[in-house]
Amino acid sequence: MSAGNAVPETTKRLPEWSKTLMLKCGAALVLVLAIAPSVLAQNAKDALAIENARAPAVTDTRTVNLPVYMTIRNRGDKNERLLAATTPNADKVELIELRNEIGINLPMAAEVLLVAPGTGLDLNPLGPRLLLSGLKTPLKVADRFPITLVFEPSGTIEIEVLVEAGATGQAHRH
């Protein structure tokens, strides 16, 4: 071995099994780092269950507002906040809650709908709901359409809404 930057002869030649082991460990580390964010996101989304998403059928082309109902269950240990929703079937989706104004419960736009840990939030005609405004096409019984729900902290969840005959509540003309 010479002076200066010389590398000892023993470190120049690693056994073949050692090189293979290092490559496998490196590949495993890259895989874990690549998968970790999606696994964490999936675990957060697993905290939420969206059940019985439905909307009433619309046969009148003058109908522009359509309520959407469902049950959102929070099986996690943190508050989940429904911040927004979107669908290609309407210009806008509003979060609606009932507020007591002048002694009457009135449906009003909400900034957020809260789902506490271990509870469910029932979106229904007599309580909070989603309201599609600017409905783009009539929806017949048995049609399905997508809605993307945006939660904090879980992120976005895409669901499918079933159009039902006689679903509780009616579409609105304005």
Residues 59-91: tens digit of each pLDDT: 777 777 899 999 999 999 999 999 999 999 999
Least confident of 26-35, 49-58, 79-88: 26-35
**pLDDT for the residue 157:** 96
* Domain assignment present for 168: yes
Considering the domain architecture, whether residues 41 and 119 belong to the same structural domain is answered as no
pLDDT band (50, 70, 90) for residue 137: confident
State which residues form the domain around 98.
Answer: 48-173
8-state DSSP, 169: S
Whether 17 shows a pLDDT value over 70: the answer reads no
8-state DSSP, 23: H
Whether 15 shows a pLDDT value over 70: the answer reads no
Considering the domain architecture, whether residues 117 and 95 belong to the same structural domain is answered as yes
Considering the domain architecture, whether residues 169 and 138 belong to the same structural domain is answered as yes
DSSP 42-110: HHHHHTEEEEEEEEE----TTEEEEEEEEEEEE-SSS-EEEEEEE-TTEEEEEEEEEEEETTEEEEEE-
**pLDDT for the residue 42:** 40
* Domain assignment present for 7: no
* Domain assignment present for 98: yes
**pLDDT for the residue 33:** 44
Considering the domain architecture, whether residues 155 and 106 belong to the same structural domain is answered as yes
pLDDT band (50, 70, 90) for residue 34: very low
CB atoms under 10 Å from CB of 123, counted, come to: 23
Kindly state the tokens that stand for 23. 């490559």
| Distance of alpha carbon 94 from alpha carbon 128, whole angstroms | 11
**pLDDT for the residue 22:** 60
pLDDT band (50, 70, 90) for residue 11: low
* Domain assignment present for 3: no
Considering the domain architecture, whether residues 27 and 53 belong to the same structural domain is answered as no
Alpha carbon separation from 153 to 18, 20, 33, 61, 79 (Å, rounded): 43, 41, 21, 37, 8
Q: What is the mean pLDDT of residues 121-130?
A: 95
* Domain assignment present for 96: yes
* Domain assignment present for 131: yes
**Residue written as token pair 């439905």:** 54
